[in-house]
Chain A
């Protein structure tokens, strides 16, 4: 699980395209 950073979005989108995988984005209040 990757913790989100403000600069992560382009990286994840590029990775998703390259690896042909969807992103699972979890908005969570559970302890990190």
Chain B
């Protein structure tokens, strides 16, 4: 996990009590009102993803990967975004992040290719798993004409 973070991020920490002044300033700037709050920021300081509350290690790493996918997506790097989202599905299929990652992998592929079948395939994939999640419900509209 530490190696993954070192490889893919510039990690920094603000301690809410020991660095109270900095926490007040940055906490207000980024609307951080609870700990732990972990933000993924781009090089402009813009928030790309937010993790609030404790997570076990595998769920946390899945969230970090999901965040990398969202960061790439926000910067319109569709192929890179899809790659991260698919990695979440592949490596952390039992995590809470996996259905969200599958949804956005479909969107990223559609954005990259312009091919609507990417969305229909995603809707079909949700029929096999995670069908009780809100992400499956969101994707269900894509499968309306694909049966």
Which residue of chain B lies nearest to A30 when distances are taken between CB atoms in the complex? B36
CB distance from B95 to the nearest CB of A (A): 18
Taken together as a complex, chains A and B put the C-alpha atoms of A19 and B21 apart, in Å, by 29
Residue of A with least CB distance to B33: A27
In the bound complex, CA of A2 to CA of B15 (Å) = 11
B112 at the interface (CB under 8 A from A): no
Whether A22 lies near B40 (C-beta < 8 A) is yes
Q: B146 contacts which chain A residues (CB < 8 A)?
A: none
Is B26 a contact of A19 with CB atoms below 8 Å? no
The answer to whether A29 and B35 touch across the interface, beta carbons within 8 angstroms, is: yes
Distance in angstroms from B22 CB to nearest chain A CB is 5
Residue pair B23, A27 in contact (C-beta under 8 Å): yes
The smallest beta-carbon distance between B80 and chain A, in angstroms, is 11
Q: A22-B48, A26-B38, A27-B37 are in contact. Are A16 and B10 (CB under 8 A)?
A: yes
Q: Does B55 contact A (CB under 8 A)?
A: no
B16 within 8 A of A: yes
Which residues of chain A come closer than 8 Å to B5, judged between CB atoms? 24
B residues in contact with A3, CB < 8 Å:
12-13, 15, 19
Tell me which of B22, B26, B38 contacts A24 (CB under 8 A): B38
In angstroms, Cα B10 to Cα A8, docked, is 12
Chain A residues with CB under 8 A of B16: 27-29
A residues near B, CB below 8 A? 1-6, 8-9, 12-13, 15-17, 19-30, 32
